[in-house]
């Protein structure tokens, strides 16, 4: 039995070291690891244990077909995003969130340089070179509580992966063209909520110098005694 202190340190380290990866190496994620990660994510809480989330993972040839098509659509100026959850442009967020997004933009330039935008879209076109993409779906007509449950499921995937040394990124990029995904993944009667890329970070790629900061605790937390 490992003592609690040891687990605490490991968990804190895991949380501190997790970040979104935007360039993966070609190393594959094993099917056994993928299964174990999803089994752990199934332990996430959900409204009255409704367990509304379903998981489709694209890897190998299936993912290469999706990746190729994604790159083509992304670079076609006549085709637009067709996600199941609409894209919300920065100006339509609340002021605090807008401010955080602005800070992120400035930090990205500071960390990666002026070429960051170009690199981001290059990597987005390639689905970040992720060797596996996990798609989380909900049934048509889902309610807001199921969105909560999906977030919780997604975070457990990300942390369970990190515990195995597998890096990740949750991204809108993966679910931009939902109808195309429905064709390739044979998903009917369900909405694509989010995709999570899994793999091993390419430390030599400059895009991975992006680090997200966090607001000061006192701006986020109120304790009422």
Write the interaction track for ligand FMN spanning residues 102-141; mark x where CB under 6 A is met and - where it is not: --x-------------------------------------
**Cβ neighbours of residue 82 closer than 8 Å, sequence gap 6 or more:** 176, 177, 178, 179
Provide DSSP, 162-196. HHTT-EEEEEGGGGSBHHHHHHHHT--SEEEEEEE
Tokens 């070179």 correspond to 129
Of the candidate spans 40-48, 58-66, 166-174, 178-186, the one that interacts with ligand FMN by CB under 6 A turns out to be: 166-174
CB of 173 to ligand FMN, least distance (A): 4
Look-up of token digits 């602005």: 102
Q: Note whether 78 and 171 are within 8 A (CB).
A: no
- Minimum distance, C-beta of residue 32 to ligand FMN, in the bound complex (Å): 26
Q: Where in 60-126 does DSSP place strands (E)?
A: none
Task: Report if residue 212 touches ligand FMN, rule: CB under 6 A.
Answer: yes
Task: Please tell me whether residue 191 binds ligand FMN under the rule CB under 6 A.
Answer: no
Side-by-side strand order, sheet with 190-199: 54-59, 132-139, 190-199, 167-171
22 makes contact with ligand FMN (CB under 6 A): yes
Interface with ligand FMN includes 170 (CB under 6 A)?
A: yes
Instruction: Determine phi and psi for 223, rounding to 5 degrees.
Output: -105, 125
By CB under 6 A, the count of residues binding ligand FMN is 11
Residue from 20, 146, 156, 208 in contact with ligand FMN (CB under 6 A): 20
What is the residue whose two structure tokens read 């409704």? Answer: 50
Q: Which stretch binds ligand FMN (CB under 6 A): 3-11, 57-65, 110-118, 171-179?
A: 171-179
Quick check: 173 binds ligand FMN (CB under 6 A)? yes
Strands 54-59 and 190-199: unpaired
State the residues that interact with ligand FMN by CB under 6 A. Answer: 19-20, 22, 104, 169-173, 194, 212
């Amino acid at each position: 039995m490992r003592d609690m202190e040891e687990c605490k340190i490991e968990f804190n380290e895991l949380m501190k070291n997790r970040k979104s990866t935007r360039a993966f190496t070609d190393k594959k994620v094993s099917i056994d690891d993928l299964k174990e990660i999803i089994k752990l994510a199934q332990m996430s809480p959900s409204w009255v244990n409704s367990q509304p989330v379903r998981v489709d993972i694209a890897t190998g040839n299936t993912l290469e077909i999706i990746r190729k098509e994604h790159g083509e659509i992304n670079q076609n100026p006549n085709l637009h995003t067709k996600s199941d959850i609409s894209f919300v442009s920065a100006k339509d967020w609340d002021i605090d969130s807008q401010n955080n997004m602005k800070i992120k933009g400035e930090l990205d330039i500071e960390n990666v340089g002026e070429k960051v935008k170009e690199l981001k879209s290059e990597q987005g076109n390639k689905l970040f070179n992720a060797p596996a993409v996990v798609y989380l779906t909900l049934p048509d007509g889902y309610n807001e509580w199921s969105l909560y449950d999906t977030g919780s499921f997604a975070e457990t995937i990300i942390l369970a992966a990190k515990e195995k040394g597998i890096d990740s990124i949750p991204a809108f990029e993966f679910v931009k063209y939902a109808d195309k995904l429905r064709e390739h993944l044979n998903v009917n009667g369900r909405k694509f909520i989010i995709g999570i890329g899994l793999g091993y970070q390419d430390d030599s790629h400059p895009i991975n110098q992006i680090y997200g900061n966090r607001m000061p605790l006192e701006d986020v937390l109120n304790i009422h005694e």
